[in-house]
Amino acid sequence: MATISDVAKLAGLSRSTVSRVLNNYPHVSEEKKKLVTEAMKELEYYPNSSARILRSQKTNTIAVFIPMLTNPFFSYLLEGIDTVATENGFRLLVCQTRYNPEKELQYFKLLKSKQVDGIILTSIENSWNDIKGYASCGPVVICNEYAAGANVPNVRLDQVYGGYIGTRHLIEKGHRRIAYCRGSFQSGIAKDREKGYQQAMTEYGLTIEEGWYFRTAADYHDGKRVMRQMFDMRERPTAVFTGSDQVAAGIIFEAKQLGLNVPQDIAVIGFDDQPIAEMIVPQITTIRQPVHEIGESAMRLMISIILEREAPDKKPPLGLDLIVRAST
């Protein structure tokens, strides 16, 4: 592999001049520039990244912590993050935590060892107390989640409202016995939605039975299980609020298996408006989240923080304009 010295030698110039051409510096004569360009082409020269990084202390790489790649919600989120990253010349290092706190802490070392310029968290598996030590040595942005005590930038929607409008929708359809599903792990947004659910129920003077809470429902198969559990209840709920369209799909599938009519016997409301929501019959009523946009905003936020670090004087014009778009 050719180095900058090889190019300099072939062009009959110094390494600095080559470097200047490489980085589009002004004050380089056209003549020398051409000489350098030709030499680079001749040698098929590509600047060595690690050397550049070591020198500049910038990796142009962002780590994205994701619980599970195969969860469609997160792949759409990642897609949004990637869109903005690519546009701005950033690379993405994918870190699957697999809901594992230790893995998460492990990945934080990427920041310590300067392998990435920043970290975007799309889930949080540890208490913020255990994390905050890492967050101090580089920009961390939390995306679609939040943690008690975390004082880092944060992009997310009003999930209390999401839980509220979903539940209200069911109540207005005439339901009184409404169950509530969410994933198992400690999640700020799940708690918020639960708050919204309770808020709506209270507002309409409805009391919640403890048996209506299903707090370990994260995917399609969980949904099926929940439906079977509900089926066996003496007085079963007539509607369910779920934290994801996957769970909703599972419930609907199993309901049909059990000979129930959806939504007459059991009404289901999903979350996120993922493709699956319109693929099954009947289609799932769902709360749309602009997942892609959330991802984009998180990355934009990250970039603006990085730019600000480099040039603390000029504030970058950042426009965060997320809104809840509900389509029940």
Number of residues that bind DNA (CB under 7 A): 29
**Encoding tokens for residue 57?**
């202390």
119 within 8 A of 59, measured Cβ to Cβ: no
Residues 88-107: x/- map of binding to a second copy (CB under 8 A)? Answer: ---xxxx-x-----------
Q: Considering the complex, what minimum distance in angstroms separates the CB of residue 5 from DNA?
A: 6
State yes or no: residue 114 binds a second copy (CB under 8 A). Answer: yes
Locate all alpha helices (DSSP H) within 57-158, ordered by sequence.
72-87, 101-112, 128-135
What's the min distance (Å) between Cβ of 272 and a second copy?
Answer: 13
Q: What is the largest CA-CA distance in the chain?
A: 88
H or E, element range at 301: helix 291-310
| Interaction between residue 43 and a second copy (CB under 8 A) | no
CB of residue 45 vs DNA: minimum separation in angstroms? 7
CB of 140 to DNA, least distance (A): 21
Q: What are phi and psi of 96, to 5 degrees?
A: -85, 115
Stretch that binds DNA, among 54-62, 184-192, 196-204, 250-258 (CB under 7 A): 54-62
Query: Could you tell me which of 60, 79, 83 has the C-alpha nearest to residue 71?
Result: 79
Residue of the chain from 56, 86, 115, 257 that contacts DNA (CB under 7 A): 56
Report, in Å, the least distance between residue 208 CB and a second copy.
29
**Which partner from the list DNA, a second copy, none does 130 bind, CB cut-off 5 to 8 Å by kind?**
none
Q: Does 314 bind DNA (CB under 7 A)?
A: no
Of 202, 212, 200, residue with least CA distance to 239: 212
Respond yes or no on whether the N-terminal peptide bond of residue 72 is cis (omega within 30° of 0): no
Q: Which does 157 bind (CB under 5 to 8 A by kind): a second copy, DNA, none?
A: none
Please give the DSSP secondary-structure letter assigned to residue 52: H
109 binds, among DNA, a second copy, none (CB under 5 to 8 A by kind): a second copy
- The torsion defined by the Cα of 299, 305, 307 and 309, in degrees rounded to 10, comes to -150
Using CB under 8 A, which of 24, 29, 113, 207 touches a second copy?
Answer: 113
